[in-house]
Amino acid sequence: MKRVFLILGILVILGIGLGPWAYRTFFVPGVPIALSAFDYRTNDSWAALPAESPAPVWKDGWAVDVILVGPGTGLDPRSEADLLSQTNHAKEQSGWLAASLSLIGPVYAPLYRKADEATDLAAAFRSYVRTHNRGRAFVIATDHALPPEMLSSLKTDAALRARFGGFLRLTRAKGANAPFPAIALVPSAPDALMSYCPDQYDTEDTCEPVVRIGRQDGMMIVSQDTPVGGESLAGLTAWLEANVAKTAEPLGSLEEVEIIDIRRPGDTDAKRAEDDN
């Protein structure tokens, strides 16, 4: 009996000592760790990138890229191990979706910090335009609302907007006849989506065709049998060919060239000084 009371006493003491640790560990979520801003000039800041750089528009003509801001690419880690796990999951998830979306064209999926989504996605889009786009057409595939900061250049840069093919709305159906709600880029003004749509959608209600997605082996995949983007994308390159001028190949960087003084035989500095005198 004494041994039983002794064991119970030890358990009580351990419970009192380990209780706060167990509560913090299993019941109180950890504080997110501070993440540095991504440098989208480097490959490790992207969850998906094409294996090779696609040909620019001035070389092979019109083609379409896909910018993917889909499920699982926002990071909100509580530890370094959690960061590695979330990053690996984001890359795997983006790879599954890119397998289907690459039928449209090369896929670019940026990693981003959930706490700084607007800043990171705006920086990723700028980096794509400056480094990867090279005059090609592009569409944006997403499953959630996008920050206006990311898309502001679509309103200010007419040439960029002209080759924008609209949004692909990645949507998981909740039933056979479930509606697909529109993605509101500005929560207070859902209709503002059309202000980003290119000119070829002026006569249509929206520029965000639905792309059905579903879960397989723990990952979201494109689950529809019909072509992704449907008629909205089927004629995009033909429309661009008929209506939009291709971007010209940029000139190379200027190089400063030293001007060399050309002289005849015997025309030396000493001879010139003698002649001056």
pLDDT digits (tens, 9 = 90+) for 63-104: 999 999 999 899 999 999 999 999 999 999 999 999 999 999
Give the long-range contacts of residues 182-190, CB within 8 A, separation 24 or more: 182/206, 182/208, 183/142, 183/144, 183/145, 183/146, 183/208, 184/145, 185/145, 185/146, 185/147, 185/148, 185/151, 186/148, 187/145
Span 133-162, pLDDT tens digits: 999 999 999 998 889 899 999 989 999 999
Segment among 107-111, 245-249, 256-260 with least mean pLDDT? 256-260
**Per-residue model confidence as pLDDT tens digits over 202-216:** 666 668 888 999 999
pTM of the model: 0.77
* DSSP 3-state of 20: helix
Residue burial 33-51, b: 16+ Cβ < 10 Å; e: rest: eebeebebeeeebbbbbee
What residues are paired with 109 via a beta bridge? 48
Q: Report residue 140 as tokens.
A: 């944006």
**pLDDT number for residue 219:** 93
Does 274 score more than 90 pLDDT?
no
The fraction of the chain above a pLDDT of 70, given in percent, is 72
Measured distance CA(142)–CA(171) in Å, rounded: 9
Task: pLDDT band for 28, please (50, 70, 90 cuts).
Answer: very low
Strand partners, 44: none
